Structure 1
Amino acid sequence: MIVWFGSRYLDLLGSIYIYNEHRGYTAIDRVLDAVKVRSPEDTQLIAAIEQHRADERKHYVMFKRWFELRGTKPLALDRAFGHIDRFIEIMFGKTIDNLDTQEVINRDELFERMCRIISLTEKRGFKQVEILLKNRFVLGDRALTKIFKIIHRDEPSHWAPYDGWLKAHAKRDPKWWERMVDGFVHSELLFLKLPVLFLNPFMKRREDWADSAELDPDRRGALSTVST
């Protein structure tokens, strides 16, 4: 029973993370578009966000390889299990896919809001990884432990460019209610959606990979990281 529980837990954990990593780097493409139009001269900010995007992509590829080594694909999750998805839906009143990039470019307050959301999401992710690196089921999987150690190393640089932009433009820090929304989204996933998913034996797996239509030039480095 313990072996089954541990395997099921890691399967769900990996499925949630691979969804969020893919959602992360594809959503950052929208942010990059906005920054390049708003501040084309701010090459330092653009480079930092591009590195954030590259890290999210790398994390996705590592989880992909982890599933391949298990001989399976992740569960077919949707945006209900995405932290950034739910956060943006609540804060903007629309999904990421329906978010008007041009409107975010044109309106300072929307770009400012986006920066706070990303920063809070990344900081929440960092805290969660620290918890997972003490989890006995995670620690029992050598490859998965390596993945989370890499994420833990990368994560602090991910919120830095957004906090930096807010500070440089004299924008406010997140207010208590924004932190409360972040906490609500996390708690909703952890205490409601994850247990329901755990007990659902009918959840289907993906038939393809989320990045099937994308080129994969950075895959080789991630493969060696997970395989060793």
Structure 2
Amino acid sequence: MFAWFRRRYLDLLGSIYIYNEYRGYTSIDRVLQAVRVRAPDDHALIAAIEQHRADERKHYQMFQRWFQLQGRMPLAVDRTCGHIDRFVEIMFGRTIDALDTQAVIDDDAQFEKLCRVISLTEQRGYKQVHILLLHPAVLRDKVLTRIFRIIEKDEPSHWAPYDGWLRAHGKREPRWWERAIDTFIHSELLFLKLPVLFLNPFVRRRTDWADAGEALPDVQAPAVA
């Protein structure tokens, strides 16, 4: 019975992470589009965000490989389990896919808000990885532990370019209510959505990979086997 609970927990954990990593790097494409138009000569900022995008893609591929090694597909979780999805919906009143990229390009306040959302999301992810690397169920899976160790190493550089832009342009840091929204989204997933998914026997598995058909060069992910 304990073995089943552990497998189910890791199955859900991996499924939620691979979804969030996919949404992460595809969302950063929108950020890069905005930055390249707003600040085409800020090569350092563009390079930092490109590296963030590459890391998120790499993390996605590592979780993809983890599932492939087990011979199964991730569970079909959706944007209700996506931290950045929920944060953008609350802060902008629309989904990531419906976000008006041109408005973000044209309006400093919109871009500033997006930078804070991304920074808080990445810092939340870093804190969560620390917690997971103390979890016995995770530590018993050597491949998954290696994946989280790599994420732990990569993560601190991910909020740096956004915080740097805010400081360089005299913008404010996140306020208590923005941090409270971040905490609410995390708690909602941890204490409501995860238990519901855990107990739901009808959650189906994906039939294809989220990146199927992408006309993008693969990023070489570290071996996790």
TM tier, smaller: over 0.9
Structure 1 position 216, deviation (Å) = 6.0
- For 1:21-100, what aligned pairs fall within 5 Å after superposition? 21-100=21-100
- Determine what percentage of the aligned residue pairs are the same residue: 71
Q: Are 1:156 and 2:159 matched, yes or no?
A: no
1:141-193 deviation digits (Å, cap 9, x = unpaired) = 00000000000000000000000000000000000000000000000000000
Q: Are 1:187 and 2:161 matched, yes or no?
A: no
Partner of 2:18: 18
Letter in 2 for 1:4: W
CA distance in 2, matches of 1:214, 1:19: 16
Structure 1 position 215, deviation (Å) = 4.2
1:110-129 deviation digits (Å, cap 9, x = unpaired) = 00000000000000000000
CA distance in 1, matches of 2:90, 2:213: 29
1:20-58 deviation digits (Å, cap 9, x = unpaired) = 000000000000000000000100000000000000000
CA distance in 1, matches of 2:214, 2:136: 35
CA distance in 1, matches of 2:76, 2:8: 15
Give the superposed CA RMSD: 0.9
Partner of 2:224: 226
CA distance in 2, matches of 1:213, 1:182: 32
- For 1:71-220, what aligned pairs fall within 5 Å after superposition? 71-215=71-215, 217-218=217-218
Aligned length: 225
Q: Are 1:8 and 2:46 matched, yes or no?
A: no
Structure 1 position 218, deviation (Å) = 3.0
CA distance in 2, matches of 1:216, 1:144: 26
Gaps of 5+ in 2: none
CA distance in 2, matches of 1:128, 1:193: 16
Letter in 1 for 2:4: W
Tell me the TM-score normalized by structure 1.
0.97
